[in-house]
Structure 1
């Protein structure tokens, strides 16, 4: 019978900081995706023009809004279920 070493104790404040940083990072990247989508809708890129630019931009805007609004709420719900130990 081998005893595996117990994991080192975690600092709840450090875990809270990491979680807060992750939520902020998701929100920031969602905002950037929304801006990118609006630039595509305005046809600011040479590689996508016309109706394809509008469709691509709309998809990017919806994806960015989902990442900006919904994903942080899902993470908060997950973090509440698993408090730092």
Structure 2
């Protein structure tokens, strides 16, 4: 499994697993990363891929000194379950 990467040109975080790519789409509003959608390929469902993707994405957001707005239901649920993410969400 590779590392989570920010594909800024496509406005999404990506995680490659077994030749497939899970994504967390976003757009930027100033210093806020607005997460809009998370998609994990069907073959990878139920393996914790989305959680790993979002953990990596949030770590990158934090490292860049940005905040998030979790419009995506999965990202919102992840933040609710992980108090350590509270300092970057929501705005």
Q: Same fold (TM over 0.5)?
A: no
**TM-score between both structures, scaled by the size of structure 1:** 0.31
The structure with more strand, counted as a fraction of residues = 2
The structure with more helix, counted as a fraction of residues = 1
Larger radius of gyration: 1
